[in-house]
């Protein structure tokens, strides 16, 4: 019995809801998968590497052990590995592959990881070039979203015009990004520079910026973290910065009051007379 092949669309984080709400694609005509593990931080892991999966989850649990976020992140590790497996299992049902990759380190790393497996399927693969996307917002202004997460559902059709068919050289670049850049490094933090390149940094990389927003008077950790997020253009999430802020407290660089848990549970001030080592 013959069946009609479907295009596979891959999105990241909660952008699957935006994709569905757009109505740009008939759900019966596509396969939609989404990846949710934030690969900019922690040890790397991949399909069929159980020890690496354990190492990644152990680091996440140790680092974010006091946060509700931790449970979601640990689940995300397993879910993404399962999604890669599911992608390979439906290979015979796939016509073309569309990856909605944002101009974002985490999404680019996730794309490199799954691309390493998709290449063997011998399918046409399209990747979105978000570096050139310009769309109109609801009041008619031109905006430049960096990923599908920053895109409104009514903008999806316009964004979709920026897909680029991946040629052999492009596929090689994705594979090299994964093997020669990501897997070959032991760093625990990865960021995107202004030229779109992924660099490896020490976990303390954003500490100085956090400290620049700390005052002599107590203020909410959420405020310090929020201002830092804007400064670094959301290169990492608030949970990562919360971990770093708490580390500065534990090293007596900062004083705190409240409960040293979530970003709204405590306040910090910077008159301890210490500086980060």
For the stretch 47-63, pLDDT in tens is: 989 999 999 999 998 88
* Whether 106 and 140 share a structural domain: yes
Residue 202, in any domain of the structure: no
Residues 157 and 27 in one domain: yes
Given this model, what pLDDT does residue 1 score? 45
Based on the fold, state whether residues 20 and 69 are members of the same structural domain.
yes
pLDDT of 69 higher than 70: no
pLDDT at 155 over 80: yes
Decide if pLDDT at 264 tops 50: yes
Do residue 90 and residue 33 come from a single domain? yes
d(CA 12, CA 152): 15
Boundary residue ending a domain (165, 182, 199): 182
Query: Rounded to an integer, what distance in angstroms lies between the CA atom of residue 242 and that of residue 258?
Result: 14
- The percentage of the chain sitting over the pLDDT mark of 90, rounded to a whole number, equals 82
Instruction: Taking residues 123-143, report their average pLDDT.
Output: 94
pLDDT for residue 203 is more than 90: yes
Distances in Å between the alpha carbon of 216 and those of 22, 42, 93, 229, 247? 47, 32, 61, 20, 18
Q: Is the pTM higher than 0.85? A: yes
Question: Domain boundary residue among 148, 165, 182?
Answer: 182
| Residue pair 16/32 in contact by the 8 Å Cβ criterion | yes
Q: Which domain holds residue 220?
A: 207-269
**192 belongs to a structural domain:** no
Does pLDDT of 91 surpass 90? Answer: yes
Number of domains, the chain: 2
Q: What is the CATH number of the domain that holds 172?
A: 3.40.1360.10
More confident residue, 2 or 232: 232
């Amino acid at each position: 019995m013959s069946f009609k092949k479907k295009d596979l669309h891959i999105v990241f984080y909660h952008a699957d809801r935006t994709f569905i709400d757009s109505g740009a694609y008939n759900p019966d005509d596509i396969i939609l998968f989404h990846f949710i593990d934030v690969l900019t931080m922690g040890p790397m892991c991949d399909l069929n590497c159980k020890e690496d999966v354990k190492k990644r989850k152990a680091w996440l649990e140790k680092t974010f052990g006091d946060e509700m976020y931790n449970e979601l992140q640990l689940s995300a590790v397993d879910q993404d590995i399962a999604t890669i497996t599911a992608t390979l299992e439906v290979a015979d049902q796939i016509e073309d592959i569309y990856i909605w990759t944002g101009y974002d380190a985490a999404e680019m790393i996730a794309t490199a990881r799954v691309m390493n497996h998709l290449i063997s399927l011998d399918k046409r693969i399209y990747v979105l070039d978000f570096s050139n996307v310009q769309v109109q917002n609801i009041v008619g202004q031109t905006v430049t979203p960096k990923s599908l997460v920053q895109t409104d559902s009514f903008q999806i059709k316009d964004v979709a015009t920026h897909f680029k068919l991946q040629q052999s050289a492009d596929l090689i670049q994705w594979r090299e990004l994964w093997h020669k850049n990501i897997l070959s490094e032991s760093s625990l933090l990865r960021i995107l520079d202004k030229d779109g390149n992924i660099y490896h940094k020490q976990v303390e990389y954003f500490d100085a910026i956090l400290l620049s927003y700390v005052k002599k008077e107590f203020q909410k950790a959420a405020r310090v973290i929020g201002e830092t997020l804007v400064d670094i253009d959301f290169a990492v999430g608030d949970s990562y910065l919360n971990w770093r802020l708490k580390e500065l407290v534990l090293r007596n660089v900062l004083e705190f009051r409240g409960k040293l848990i979530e970003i709204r549970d405590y306040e910090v001030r910077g008159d301890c007379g210490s500086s980060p080592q």
